[in-house]
Chain A
Amino acid sequence: MRLGRIVSHRFHSLLRRSRADADLECEIDLHIEQLTKQYVADGMSEPQARLAARREFGPVNFTKEQCRDMRGLNLLEDLAKDLVYACRLLTRSPGFTLTAVLSLALGIGANTTVFSVLNALVLKPLPVAAPDRIYSVNTSGRPSNSFPNYREIRDRNQVFESLFSYRIMQVALDDQGGAHRVWGFLVTGNYFETLGIQPAIGRFFTPAEDMHPGASPYAVLSYTCWQNRFGGDPEIAGKEIHVNGRPYTVLGVAPRGFHGTEVFYWAEIWVPMMMQPQIEGNSWLDSPGTFDAWIAGRLKPGVGVGQAEANLKTIAAQLARERPVNEGMQLTLSAPGMGGSMGREPTRAFTGGLMLLASLVLFAACANLAALLTARAADRERDMAIRVSIGAGRGRLVRQLLTESLLISTVGGAAGSTTAVVLLRMLSQWRAPLGFPVQFDVTADWRVFLFAFAAAIATGILFGVGPAHRAWKTDPALSLKGLAAPVAGRRWTARDALLPVQIALCCVLVTASLVAVRGLMRSFQTPLGFMPDGATVVSYDVGLAGYDRNRGRLFHERALEAVAHLPGVESAAYSSSVPLSIDQSNATVYSEKTTDFRPKNGFGPTYYYVSPGYFRTAGARLLAGREFNQRDDRKSPLVAIVNRAFAQRVTGTVDAVGQRFHLGPSKDLTEIVGVVEDGKYETLTETPKAALFLRVLQSYSATNVLMVRSRRPGSELAAEMRQAIGRLDPHLPVYGAGGLREMLGLVYLPMRAAVIALGAFGVLALMLSITGIYGLAAYTVSRRAREIGIRVAIGARPAQVLGSVFGHIGRLVAAGAVVGLGLGIAGAGVLASIVYQASSRDPVVIAGAVLSIAVVALVAAWGPARRAIRVDPVRSLRQD
């Protein structure tokens, strides 16, 4: 190991440095002594000989230095010296250091946080074996297909090693504290073996244990469920638990950190798919028209996505020929984790857009620091020139300057990643108030730290290169004469470019945050088709308590009665679900004359089962016809209330009352008795969609949302509603209780996230701009104090002084702002992926951005301007 020896030698000599130096001294002394002796022998006098020997030997110190270089000592030692020197310099100007470290910490912190979210949502693979081989099978852009189709695809394909199906479910799970609503997955028996994970304890169920409907009452618990609900009972495998009031046997516990294959959704329990009829109350395992089964699988080794999709295309065509309901079905693959391709693209665009904007913050911070450092370097020019003229290598100077900037960036990076880790921990623990286990693990992993480190080093080099370049070009002769100071002829320097760059970046970020805020404001003003304010809801699912239809219907009515009589309630109603909640269903509707019931001949409105009084309670305006009443029951003809979009689809006008349609492929006709205004049903961004409201008594829904309208606060009322239901059945889990506005949190979530993130970026950018403008202004004033003094001395008025000093800076800021606004407008596409209805052409946004830049410029230049006016000509001219 030669290298090892060299390294150890170096460290050795570093440690014994003084000894080695003494050795060298002796060695050289000896040599000179010998030379002297030789000259004496040649006949010189002692002093003459000594002198001649010295001359002959040459510059002793230079030789020593070279020997030290050869020992490789200097590299390490220089680094240590550079570091010490850099530390000393930085502590000597704490203002500069604080500004630099802080702006970098903010820039790197913001980037690390965003990167970590990107990492968690898009980059981090699922915690399963060979995750890159697992793919979701999307059906015409959605993750779900029918279970009969799943079986066909599983048996006919030649590209999947194994294909499984799964379905999000909610169940009532009895633990030590009574029945709770718990979220989980119904999964086919090959689920665990396909994913290739190992149980923490016990075992998983197998395909053989998922053969016959209702015959496999087995459950697998998540690690967290086992710990939190069963106290980590080591004997849990084999024990009986109660799911929806029925006995199930726990087979095992999933490994820690495994929450299923969806990134946002953390399952607590897995049950074999064949238990679906028992869990959900109605079986769709053999129903070709119910598209509720999600499909994913592991590709065979060596099979590419293209090849697999070609195979799926063939199968889709076969299935479409065999069953009309499959007509037009397209099967595609996507990475798993976000409802197939449905959630993945928006998420990728959202986090990608944020990442881009965050990197702009970092660039702004870099530009800022580069400007500060360049200004400092200019002040240190004389110092550099002296060092060059007494023999310091230019490389050495550059190394020292780079050490300085890297030190700043490393400290800033460390501070930034610490901030990010704290933020991320908060974000990971935060749970959206959605009545749905939306949670994602964004805690930092090695990728995040690697990213932060790389960002720190890159920024250090980026903002350190300018000053270093300047030091490289230092010409001692000119600098010492004071000639390297900005020469009048050269008005535009590299430093001048940095400020506009920074202002432009700031402008883009401010525009982005204003667009986000406007978007959120607009989304609050978007007509929802109902009035969430003043409405309070409580949900439950009688299916979880094992009720049948008749008991369920009765219970819904009794619950309605109970909450309708609570004090302060103006009206009350119930429905199977409310618009914009996560639970939305679609029916297929055919016009009255249809005889060929194929999906392409009908259309698919969102539907709800509602009680009389629903529209009054929800605050939805009826445009024609009437509300449901108590006479619309199971004995009367089928009736429906539709929205304007539905009515127009059927009749071409709003007045569709009396028209009839087929609900699903059946001969029965449903009559429209009322038309209600359009609203938003699945997302805020959707275009008007057809919606259909059916009389709940003419059908049945086990899940139920009780809604009351009142002036009393939602939280107070929700608690009373909970209690009222609890009095009717203490074992029924109640969830989603609160003001309807809060319950709609999910639809506002991306918008809120965008406002918070972009708002933070905007504020950071403004802070950076203030320091940037202030830095340049203050520097200009101090640099040109003498010139200002002369101007004042020959009678310049304050306005003229300011004009001459700040005109240049003003032009730079204006140029930056114009470029930034242009970029902001051009970059609306990126913003559109983050913000709903992003429009940077909005005059309010443009005015806001211009105004904030102007205010920032004024604030930043205020101090230096005052100083410029107060320059005392006598004192400034005496300087130096």
Chain B
Amino acid sequence: MPKPSDLLQGTLDLLILKTIAREPLHGWGIAKRIQLLSGDVLSVGQGSLYPALHRLEQQGWIAAEWKDSDLGRPAKFYLVTREGRKQLERELKSWDRLSSAVQLLIESA
């Protein structure tokens, strides 16, 4: 199994928001989901995941609550707020712009 590649700077927020946009998840779940959905290509280091979650919570884009979890004890579940959804829209747009620009560059260079 090849080592999952490092995340592009600034895309972590996007990934987190997108991941929990469908359903609230706890930290562990978010890390696993990102790894799973990206076919093991992307991996979020714990050292950056939790600070990022706290930052997003601070910004008011996500909220958290303690709930019983599938892990056998209560866990902190994160969910996207209304502000967060708007932010997700913005992040998606800018990601589209960035990736198409990169794509363009690769194709024409």
Contacts and interface: CB of A to CB of B under 8 A. Distances in A.
B3 interface: no
Interface size class of B (residues with CB under 8 A): 20 to 34
30 contacts: A2-B60, A2-B83, A5-B60, A6-B59, A6-B60, A9-B57, A23-B76, A24-B54, A27-B75, A27-B76, A28-B50, A30-B27, A30-B71, A30-B73, A31-B27, A31-B28, A31-B31, A33-B71, A34-B71, A57-B47, A58-B47, A63-B50, A66-B47, A66-B50, A67-B50, A67-B51, A68-B54, A70-B54, A70-B55, A71-B54
Contact of B46 (A26, A56, A68): A56
Contacts of B76: 23, 26-27
Interface in A1-35: 2, 5-6, 9-10, 23-24, 26-28, 30-31, 33-34
Given A31-B50, A63-B47, A66-B50, 4 more contacts: A6-B58, A27-B75, A30-B73, A68-B54
B75 A30 contact: yes
A57 to B, nearest CB: 5
A446 interface: no
Interface in A64-93: 66-72
A391 interface: no
Q: Which 8 A-B pairs have the closest CB atoms?
A: A70-B54, A70-B55, A66-B51, A67-B54, A58-B47, A34-B28, A57-B46, A70-B51
Interface size class of A (residues with CB under 8 A): 20 to 34
Contacts of A68: 54
Interface string B33-59: 000000000000111001111110111
A9 B60 contact: yes
Interface of B: 26-28, 31, 45-47, 50-55, 57-60, 66, 71, 73, 75-76, 83
**Chain B's interface: helix, strand, loop or mixed, by majority?**
helix
**Chain A's interface: helix, strand, loop or mixed, by majority?**
helix
Name, among A31, A56, A69, the residue most crowded by chain B CB atoms within 10 Å (CB to CB).
Answer: A31
A59 interface: yes
A49 to B, nearest CB: 15
Nearest to A38: B32
Contacts of B47: 57-59, 62-63, 66
Nearest to B46: A57
A165 to B, nearest CB: 66
Contacts of A31: 27-28, 31, 46, 50
B42 to A, nearest CB: 16
Nearest to A5: B60
B83 A58 contact: no
Given A58-B46, A63-B47, A63-B50, A27 B60 contact: no
Contacts of B27: 27, 30-31
A66 B58 CA distance: 13
Contacts of B55: 70
Contacts of A33: 71
Contacts of A70: 51-52, 54-55, 58
Contacts of A58: 45-47
Given A2-B83, A6-B59, A72-B58, A30 B50 contact: no
A6 B47 CA distance: 23
A70 B75 CA distance: 20
A27 to B, nearest CB: 5
Contacts of B57: 9, 71
